[in-house]
Amino acid sequence: MKNTLKKSLFVGIAALGLVAAVGTANATQASAKTYAKVTSNKALGGDATNRNVNFTGNSALYTKAGTLRGARVKASKAVLGSFANSKSSQHNVRAYRVATTNRGSVYYKVVSFDGNYRGWIYGGKSADAFGGGVAQYNTTTAPTANPDANGSVNSSASINTQGQTNGLSATQKAATYKIATPGTSNDGTEVTYTFPAWTQYKKGRQITDSTPYKDATFTITDQTTRTREGDLWVKIQATDAANSKANGWILYSGLKQANPTPVTPTDNFNADTSVKIAYRDVTTGKTLDKTNTWTTASTGTKKGNAVNALVNAGGYNLAKYLTTTGAPSGYAFKTTDGKSAAADASNLTISPVVTSAKFGDTLTVDVTPTAAQTKVAFYYETTSGSAISTLSASDFAYGYPAMTPDQQSKALPDTSTATTTFNVSNYFDDYLLGGNQNAKFINQFKDATNAYTAAPGQLTDPTNNQTNGLYKTGFFGQALANGTQRYFYVFDGTATKKNNADQQTKGATVKVVMQRFTTGLQLPGQQTDANANTDYIAK
């Protein structure tokens, strides 16, 4: 009986063992089937600045794609999530490889700018856009526009560079600076950088010691803020070419104002050929510093002669020049009928009246302060729908496109009306043949100085090598491929509206997005227009 029981127990236990063994084997096989396989693994190409990303905290960082056999966690979702809102640009991240698994999942290999975190992270189901654990990220942003960015320059003003985060005023942009504390510290204030510190991967200092430049003076050519810190960085250029090695980016707080050199005012006004136009603020009764000068194209005129219908080199008579040039920035003409300025200036208050003007006169026009002028900042996309990057004046072959005051007033929201807001969609639609009421900006921008219309087949999308099938008007950029090609920038209304909130306050800065092409076209000669300027651009 005992032997029989023992034998029964032994058989039962053995059977259970067999079942357990089979179960373990099946579990192992099932587990093996859950591992994914990599079907593609390649380096990311294109503009490296478009591959700057930020952790979202939605996925961990792994030694390899997270669903592959042997993948280990290098940083948890919680750790990465804490970096998403970091105030240190050292936590910026660059993506440089992309892998796709047989399940259609995309993984990116990324590295933090400080080099402390490197690995693979889930990026969604499409390699066309970042997703999952990472999101596209602009490491720098345009500073908040300064309301005095285009105002009068006060050369005697004392400038404080400390603590400023908004853009520079006209006086600050025109000033000359020195490095406040020359030395070797790598804190953004003592040496210059090829880019604002930690905003581009492996881009560091321009110089490592600014002591040799302690007496050098610099002007400011560009400005930006670091997205994470929100601090203001400026690009400086030496006034003496011998110190140009120090040209680069530095914190604005790292500069101090150079003692301005007294300048003896000069007035080249020729009373025999010109008429000066001054402006009076009706709210204060004071005459503004800003003046304009109309000069005849005729010869033999003398001071005191009547101007009558004579024209300048641009073909404008005095009245037409006055109204086309427009009021100074921040002001509008004070009209007698509440309407826009008439082409013949008949509804403006001008002393003496324009119809009796003589050579050598100064005409004073009544103006009134307006709402802040809406500005634009230029960005580009490498392909339709891709992330955008900033465009500086130096990215264009001939600098920012210039428009006349008349073009600018038609392209952007009217500052003289009582309304304080506007809809981006009412101004920034794509241009259509025959015109478009909601394409106010491009209808003027296409006629800006140095605009060029490329014929079909003359432009190439650098990411898919497809050429344009329609005529496209845009602007030449800098050379590439050893000078055999150039970038070419074309306005993209769809991308512009996508990257801006539709409802805006007058005085805001609109991100104008251009699509970037390449072309083998030869750069045309530079065009100029004495009446055009870039006041409409936030700088």
Residue 106 · residue 97 · CB < 8 Å: no
Q: Is residue 65 part of a domain?
A: yes
Q: Which residue has the tokens 């908004």?
A: 166
pLDDT exceeds 90 at position 531: no
153 and 171 Cβ atoms separated by less than 8 Å = yes
Judgement on whether residues 414 and 514 belong to the same structural domain of the protein: yes
Amino acid at 521: L
The answer to whether residues 388 and 499 touch, using CB atoms and an 8 Å cutoff, is yes
pLDDT single digits (tens) 470-502:
889 999 999 988 889 999 999 999 999 999 999
Residue 377 pLDDT > 90: yes
Does position 55 have pLDDT exceeding 70, yes or no? yes
Per-residue pLDDT for 447 more than 70? yes
Q: How confident is the model at residue 417 (pLDDT cuts 50, 70, 90)?
A: low
Handedness of CA 350, 353, 359, 361 (dihedral sign): negative
pLDDT band at 314 (very low <50, low <70, confident <90, very high): confident
Same-domain pairing of 408 and 503: yes
Mean predicted confidence (pLDDT) in 345-351: 93
Count Cα atoms within 13 angstroms, Cβ side, for 150: 18
Tell which of 369, 385, 401 closes a domain.
369
Least confident segment among 158-167, 259-268, 435-444: 259-268
Same domain, 364 and 477: no
Mark which of 96, 121, 137 sits at the end of a domain.
Answer: 137
- The three-class DSSP label of residue 442 is helix
Distances (CA, A) of 525 to 275, 354, 399: 32, 37, 13
- Decide which of 431 and 312 is more confident: 312
Q: Are residues 241 and 286 in the same domain?
A: no
Residue with structure tokens 């593609």? 40
pLDDT score for 419: 67
Exposure b/e, 56-74, CB count within 10 A at least 16 = b: bbbbbbbebbbbbeebeeb
Phi, then psi, of 459 in degrees rounded to 5: -115, 145
What pLDDT does 22 receive? 41
* HSE (side-chain half, CA atoms, 13 Å) at 132: 21
Going by their DSSP bridges, the two strands 331-333 and 362-369 should be labelled as antiparallel
Q: CB–CB of 136/51 below 8 Å?
A: no
- Give 470's contacts (C-beta < 8 A, 6+ positions apart): 456
Q: What is the pLDDT at residue 267?
A: 59
Please check whether residue 266 lies inside any domain of the structure: no
Residue 152 predicted with pLDDT over 80: no
pLDDT at 29: 42
Whether residues 380 and 515 share a domain: the answer is yes
As a whole number of angstroms, the distance between CA 368 and CA 333 comes to 6
* Res 529: pLDDT: 82
- Compute the distance between CA of residue 174 and CA of residue 253 in angstroms, rounded to an integer: 16
Is the pLDDT score of 380 beyond 60? yes
pLDDT at 25 (0 to 100): 40
443 assigned to some structural domain: yes
Indicate whether 154 belongs to any domain.
Answer: no
Query: Does 414 reside within a domain?
Result: yes
CB–CB of 277/360 below 8 Å? no
Q: Do 117 and 226 lie in a common domain?
A: no
- Distance, CA of 130 to CA of 137 (rounded, Å): 10
pLDDT given at position 20: 42
How much of the chain is helix, strand and coil, in % rounded to 5? 20, 30, 55
Assess whether pLDDT exceeds 90 at residue 11. Answer: no
Higher pLDDT, 531 or 16: 531
Are 332 and 365 members of one domain? yes
Model pLDDT for residues 350-369, shown as the tens digit of each residue: 999 999 999 999 999 998 87
pLDDT band at 416 (very low <50, low <70, confident <90, very high): low
Q: Same domain, yes or no, for 175 and 217? A: yes
**Average pLDDT of span 257-265:** 61
Q: Which domain holds residue 90?
A: 38-137
Q: Can you give the pLDDT at residue 394?
A: 85
Rounded average pLDDT over 83-108: 93
Q: Are 463 and 381 contacting, i.e. CB atoms less than 8 angstroms apart?
A: no
Token pair of 338 as six digits: 């509440």
Would you state the pLDDT for residue 131?
93
| Same domain flag for 356 and 380 | no
Pairing between strand 485-491 and 503-505? unpaired
pLDDT greater at residue 330 or residue 317: 317
Whether 18 is covered by a domain: the verdict is: no
Q: What is the 3-state secondary structure (H, E, C) of 14-45?
A: HHHHHHHHHHHHHHHHHHHHHCCCEEEEEECC
pLDDT > 90? residue 414: no
Q: What is the DSSP letter of 423?
A: E
pLDDT at res. 371? 64
Per-chain mean pLDDT for the chain: 86
Query: What torsion do the CA atoms of 46, 47, 48, 53 make, to the nearest 10 degrees?
Result: -90
How does DSSP classify residue 51? G
The residue from 201, 223, 257 where one domain ends is: 257
What's the CA gap between 428 and 380, in Å, rounded? Answer: 15
Given a cut of 50, whether residue 60 has pLDDT beyond it is: yes
Task: Find the mean pLDDT for residues 145-166.
Answer: 82
Q: Residue 289 above 70 pLDDT?
A: yes
Domain-located, residue 14: no
| Percent of the chain with pLDDT strictly greater than 70 | 89
The model's confidence at residue 6, banded by pLDDT at 50, 70 and 90, is very low
Condensed to tens digits (0 to 9), the pLDDT of residues 220-234 reads 999 999 999 999 999
**Residues facing 361 on adjacent strands:** none
Cis upstream peptide for 352 (omega within 30°):
yes
Average pLDDT over residues 322-345: 84
- Does the structure show a pLDDT above 60 at 196? yes
- Judged by DSSP in three states, 1 sits in coil
Residue 187's domain is classified under what CATH number? 2.30.30
Residue 46 confidence (pLDDT):
77
Task: Answer yes or no: is 6 within a domain.
Answer: no
**Residue range 193-218: mean pLDDT, rounded:** 93
Q: Are residues 333 and 451 in the same domain?
A: no
Mapped onto helix, strand or coil, the DSSP state of residue 421 is strand
Query: Are residues 162 and 180 in contact, defined by beta-carbon separation less than 8 angstroms?
Result: no
pLDDT at 393 over 90: no
pTM of the entire predicted model: 0.47
* Same-domain check for residues 49 and 106: yes
CA distance 517 to 531: 29
* Amino acid symbol at 307: V
Residues 249 and 190 in one domain: yes
- Alpha-carbon distance 518 to 82, whole Å? 40
CA dist., res. 294 & res. 282, Å (int)? 23
Tally of structural domains, the chain: 4
Compare 432 and 52 and report the one with higher pLDDT: 52
Q: What is the pLDDT of residue 514?
A: 95
The residue-averaged pLDDT of 17-42 equals 59
In this structure, are strands 375-381 and 509-519 parallel, antiparallel, or unpaired?
parallel
**Degrees to nearest 5, angle at CA 369 with 366 and 373:** 125
Q: Where is mean pLDDT largest: 141-145, 292-296, 373-377, 433-437? A: 292-296
Cα separation, 411 vs 441, in Å, equals: 4
Least confident of 22-31, 277-286, 341-350: 22-31
Q: What is the pLDDT of residues 97-149, one digit of tens each?
A: 999 999 999 999 999 999 999 999 999 998 888 999 999 999 999 898 887 87
Residue 170 to residue 157: CA distance in whole angstroms: 11
Q: Residues 146, 217: contact at Cβ < 8 Å?
A: no
Q: Would you tell me how many other CB atoms lie within 10 Å of the CB of residue 110? A: 23
DSSP conformation letters of 464-497: T-PBPSS-EEEEEEEEETTTTEEEEEEE-HHHHH
pLDDT computed for residue 7 by the predictor: 41
* pLDDT reading at 453 higher than 90: yes
